[in-house]
Amino acid sequence: MALNNPIAGLNKIFDNRIRLGVMSILMVNEEISFNDLKQMLEVTDGNLATHMQTLEESGFIKVHKGFIGRKTNTTYSITKAGEKAFKDHIEGLEKMIKGVK
């Protein structure tokens, strides 16, 4: 975990608003499709796909490929590691805010 800020538990991967948004959504939804994510975050296909790949490579999310009829339906869910990293990140944010006051 070289990317972690050793002081606060902040995670570089979550510096990006879209990735942070994806993680927030996955924290409260068991499973969510690519299209729903796209709709909620108001981003383009390509942009979202890149960020999803980064999150997947970090082991924070799981990808499930399925079909609805003939159309592919990709859904995502959060992993244990993802949940922990996200919680640490929020705690980090809180610490940073409190620390400055």
Partner 1 sequence: MYHKVLFMTEQNQHLDALHDIKRMMQRSSRFISLSGLSGIAAGICALAGAWFANNWLQDYHRAYEQRGYSGAAFRDLEMNLILLAMAVAGLAFLSALYFTWRRAGRHKVPLWNHTSRQLLWNTAVPIIAGGFFLLIMLLQYNEWRLIGPGCLIFYGLALVNGSKYTVSDIRYLGYCEIILGLVSTQYPKHSLEFWTAGFGILHIIYGFLMWWKYERKTADVS
Give the Cα-Cα-Cα angle 24, 27, 33 (nearest 5 degrees).
Answer: 85
CA-to-CA distance for 39 and 41, rounded, in angstroms? 6
Name the burial class of residue 36, with classes exposed (0-12), middle (13-18) and buried (19+) by CB atoms within 10 angstroms of its CB: middle
If you ran DSSP here, which 8-state letter would residue 81 be given?
H
- Our CB check for partner 1 shows the closer of 24 and 50 to be 24
Minimal distance, residue 53 CB to partner 1, in Å: 20
Minimal distance, residue 2 CB to partner 1, in Å: 21
Minimal distance, residue 58 CB to partner 1, in Å: 18
Minimal distance, residue 3 CB to partner 1, in Å: 16
Residues that bind partner 1 (CB under 8 A): 17, 20-21, 24-25, 27-29, 32-33, 36, 39-41, 90, 93-94, 96-97, 100
- Copy the structure tokens of residue 25: 């959504």
